[in-house]
């Protein structure tokens, strides 16, 4: 009999499967803290919480039988994930349960934004009756640009299509087949930004997406565009949004999330064109029940030794295998992050090849680590456990293979990604005394230490090209720490990899791209 301890409020409907399971004893003690929690967790096989219970390292270490901690929601800030991982306890959450709720809330905000509903409501209850002040716009035949076409973005598209809106979608992993399935037009980021009468963001908040909607992007939009953010605070630069509304470029904005929550006396609140809600995307009865149902099912799967998918940490690996693979962790992570940033279009296929000592044993944990690194630049809530599931969900074919040809190295690793338009590959090894090295990029031999802020340039092999790049960077006080170049033949295609001390400003990046010899420039952070 498995003991499932529930310490936060959850409805009977949400945990119905747990309550009916013959092999599970459900113990509900809401509000447990301190010694009482430590005493109860000692005999629990699973702990199910929301956000109130603080699952600290002390609590986790006290759980001698504990196999899984389940969070009925998305965020796991109240759980010590590293401590759980060290203890071999799986932590799961419910990333899908609020999909419909968030999509519906976004659409409610969309209609409210189009028809000035909150503003009009305030005046009516204050005794005014000013119909002329709140003339809105129809959604019919307007263009909705969706930035991020995952679970929530695609559900929003269905609702917008029902209102006869034209829907354009940008997502690095959106294929033509999936776009056609939802009846939307696949577009580049700049195309989606320029075409939208309404623009809504549904991406994770990562280093790449933070302030992705900024002053420069607002300048590319239509005059009178309307903006929505019911995803994550920080995707939109709020200062830039304020300026765009004041200037008249943006006709209105609907925000459910903010960079700092609660936002306090935010300057945007002084603008009548802005409508706001206090992060209500997942705040429905159904969503709260759905997340409880999802984690209840995951708990049962884990306790019974069945497959599961929504873990947010790495399950325990046998100590012997962990010790064998540990030296390769950094190499795998670095190569994955490098090629993940190179692939800017939708990835269709990932091939990972192991050779030398790496080909002699179980490398599944390294493959999961590689997938997580590659896909983390575009997908939210990805981890070592659910990376294969998310790759399959996105239609990405993953091939793991072993080779007898180690290219002269004791161990050799190659990762190749194919997109709709091209393919990229990076090879690496471990050098005794030097650690991870990148030894080949797109068939160009190099010797690069994968660390720091890198500038990756593809160019024609012409005299003076490298010098002109160095001179341009030096003129902007950007120091080059190391440089590596690679070519196949004199005068042909070539690459250069520069490790620099700070990021490249946009105007300097544009200047580099305009040099005759240069074909592409990309910043890569490792």
Q: Which residues are catalytic?
A: 232, 261, 279
Residues in CB range of 278: below 8 A, 6 or more apart: 256, 261, 262
Name the β-bridge partners of 228. 200, 254
Residue 61 class from Cβ within 10 Å (0-12 exposed, 13-18 middle, 19+ buried)? middle
Comparing C-alpha atoms, which of 189, 213, 207 is closest to residue 453?
207
Structure tokens at 323: 């010790």
C-alpha angle 400/401/404, rounded to 5°? 160
Comparing C-alpha atoms, which of 395, 398, 22, 414 is closest to residue 174?
395
Phi–psi pair at 484, nearest 5 degrees: -130, 140
The number of beta carbons lying within 10 Å of the beta carbon of residue 430 is 21
Ordered strands of the 493-500 beta sheet: 480-487, 493-500, 453-460, 518-525
**SS3 for 101?**
helix
**SS3 for 74?**
coil
Are 224 and 114 contacting, i.e. CB atoms less than 8 angstroms apart? no
């Amino acid at each position: 009999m498995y003991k499932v301890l529930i310490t936060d409020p959850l409805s009977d409907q949400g945990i119905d499967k747990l309550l009916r399971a013959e092999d599970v004893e459900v113990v509900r003690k809401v509000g447990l803290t301190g010694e009482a929690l430590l005493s109860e967790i000692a005999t629990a096989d699973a702990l199910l919480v929301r956000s109130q219970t603080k699952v600290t390292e002390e609590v986790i270490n006290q759980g001698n039988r504990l196999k899984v901690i389940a969070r009925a929601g998305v965020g796991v800030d109240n759980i010590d994930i590293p401590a759980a991982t060290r203890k071999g306890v799986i932590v799961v959450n419910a990333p899908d349960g609020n999909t419909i709720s968030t999509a519906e809330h976004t659409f409610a905000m969309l209609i409210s934004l189009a028809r000035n509903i909150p503003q009009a409501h305030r005046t009516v209850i204050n005794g005014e009756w000013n119909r002329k002040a709140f003339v809105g716009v129809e959604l019919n035949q307007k263009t909705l640009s969706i930035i991020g076409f995952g679970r929530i973005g695609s559900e929003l598209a269905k609702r917008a299509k029902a209102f006869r809106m034209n829907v354009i979608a940008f997502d690095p992993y959106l294929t033509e087949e999936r776009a056609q399935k939802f009846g939307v037009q696949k577009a580049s980021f700049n195309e989606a930004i320029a075409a939208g009468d309404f623009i809504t963001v549904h991406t994770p908040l990562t280093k790449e997406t933070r302030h992705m909607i900024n002053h420069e992007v607002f300048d590319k939009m239509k005059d009178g565009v309307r903006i929505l953010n019911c995803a994550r605070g920080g995707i939109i630069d709020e200062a830039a949004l304020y300026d765009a509304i004041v200037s008249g470029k943006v006709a209105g904005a609907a925000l459910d999330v903010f960079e700092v929550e609660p936002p306090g006396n935010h300057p945007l609140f002084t603008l009548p064109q802005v409508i706001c809600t206090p992060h209500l995307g997942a705040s429905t009865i159904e969503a709260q029940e759905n997340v409880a149902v999802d984690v209840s099912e995951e708990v049962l799967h884990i306790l019974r030794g069945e497959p599961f998918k929504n873990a947010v940490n790495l399950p325990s690996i046998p100590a012997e295998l962990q010790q064998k693979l540990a030296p390769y962790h950094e190499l795998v992570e670095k190569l994955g992050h490098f090629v993940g940033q190179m692939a800017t279009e939708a990835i269709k296929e990932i091939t990972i090849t192991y050779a030398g000592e790496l080909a002699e044993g179980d490398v599944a944990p390294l493959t999961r680590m590689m997938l997580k690194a590659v896909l983390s630049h575009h997908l939210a809530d990805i981890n070592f456990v659910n990376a294969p599931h998310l790759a399959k969900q996105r239609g990405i074919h993953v091939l793991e293979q072993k080779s007898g040809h180690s290219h002269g190295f004791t161990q050799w690793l190659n990762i190749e990604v194919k997109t709709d338009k091209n393919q990229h590959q990076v090879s690496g090894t471990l050098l005794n005394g030097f650690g991870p090295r990148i030894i080949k990029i797109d068939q160009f031999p190099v010797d690069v230490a994968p660390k720091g802020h890198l500038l990756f340039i593809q160019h024609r092999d012409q005299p003076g090209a490298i010098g002109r790049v160095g001179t341009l960077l030096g003129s902007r006080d950007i120091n080059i720490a190391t440089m590596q170049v690679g070519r196949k033949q004199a005068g042909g295609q070539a690459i250069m990899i520069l490790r620099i001390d700070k990021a490249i400003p946009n105007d300097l990046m544009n200047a580099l791209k305009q040099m005759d010899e240069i074909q592409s420039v990309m910043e890569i952070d490792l």
